[in-house]
Amino acid sequence: PLMKVVMCMSRIEIKIGGFGGQGVILGGLILARALSIYEGKHAAFTQEYGAEARGGSSASAVVVDDERVDYPYPVNPDILVLMSQGAMKSYLSSIKKGGMLITEKDLVKIEKMPEEVAEFHSIPATRLAEEIIHNKIVTNIIMVGFIAKVTGLVSKENVKRSVLEMVPARVRDMNEKAFEIGYNYDEGAE
């Protein structure tokens, strides 16, 4: 229901928050590339991170529109992706009324769901990366697959193509598998 409304809107803001080392910047870049190059939308990508590299706060944002993007920063994200507890504390209050919230199930605990959230999805991306692929470096790619699936904002083929073009050739197979894990994840199975 939410995505039908969002898809009718012109400007859509997506924010991905986590900590350094989780790949939130690459995740945002992959989505921006898929939306702009392959979906033919106008998209602007921005990133922010704390002074620390690994472990510090990190966020990326994609603003997508049918028209030229006049302001590249998210004001109130329509889609908010939280991959760490710190990101939840920093960004949860910014979600747009009627927005979609997506979380890393094992790393983000929300005590009281904000009334602004109309749709909620969660995936244990880190655990899936560790248990199935045995490498948590692909946590972000699992999350990107899941984002593509639950939002319907961009086609599976276009996001997958973007993933495969943006990762080194030597790890394409691993990333393709990670994408499929996220895209095919069944929230009701746990």
Bin 139: left if φ > 0, else alpha if -120 < ψ < 50, else beta: alpha
- Placement of tokens 């949860």 in the chain: 92
pLDDT at 88 over 90: yes
What is the per-residue pLDDT for 190? 67
pLDDT, one tens digit per residue, over 38-64 is: 999 999 999 987 655 556 689 999 999
Q: How confident is the model at residue 168 (pLDDT cuts 50, 70, 90)?
A: very high
What is the per-residue pLDDT for 80? 98
Q: If DSSP states are collapsed to H, E and C, what string results for 119-132?
A: EEEEECHHHHHHHH
Mean pLDDT of 165-188: 96
The number of CA neighbours under 13 Å toward the Cβ of 171 is: 12
Closest to 7 in 3D by CA, of 147, 143, 152, 118: 152
Closest to 22 in 3D by CA, of 83, 100, 71, 68: 83
Q: Is 14 helix (H, G, I), strand (E, B) or coil?
A: strand
Residue 135: DSSP 8-state: -
